[in-house]
């Protein structure tokens, strides 16, 4: 039986912490998948056993842009009055 099916198995804070952790993990996995797909498609023109200098710098810039954009979006979402 998992912790979601038995409310008496933990406090509501424990359940909230577990939900936050699961959401953070899902968000991280989705972020990595999106960056991998978008940056790979954009930067890797000839897949091989290693990255060229141009591919490596393209990947770095692409990931940096996604991190920056995610930060901007997060700030905008969480700073809105409720």
pLDDT, one tens digit per residue, over 27-75 is: 889 989 988 899 999 999 888 899 999 999 999 999 999 999 988 988 8
Q: Is residue 67 part of a domain?
A: yes
Q: Is residue 46 part of a domain?
A: yes
Q: Is residue 29 part of a domain?
A: yes
Report the largest interatomic distance among the alpha carbons of the chain, rounded to a whole angstrom.
56
First to last CA, the chain: 36
In CATH, what number is assigned to the domain containing residue 37? 1.10.287.810
Domain carrying residue 46: 9-78
The pTM assigned to this predicted structure is 0.63
Q: Work out how many domains the chain is built from and give that number.
A: 1
Neighbours of 16 (CB within 10 A): 11
Q: Is residue 23 part of a domain?
A: yes
How many residues appear in the chain?
Answer: 82
Q: Is residue 4 part of a domain?
A: no
Q: Is residue 2 part of a domain?
A: no
Residues 6+ apart with CB under 8 A from 1: 9
Q: In the numeric block, which tokens belong to residue 1?
A: 């039986």
């Amino acid at each position: 039986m998992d912790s979601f099916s038995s409310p008496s198995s933990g406090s509501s804070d424990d359940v909230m912490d577990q939900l936050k952790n699961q959401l953070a993990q899902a968000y991280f996995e989705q972020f990595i998948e999106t960056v991998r797909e978008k940056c790979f498609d954009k930067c890797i023109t000839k897949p091989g056993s290693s990255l060229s200098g141009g591919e490596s710098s393209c990947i770095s810039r692409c990931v940096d842009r996604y991190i920056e954009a995610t930060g901007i979006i997060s700030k905008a979402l969480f700073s809105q009055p409720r």
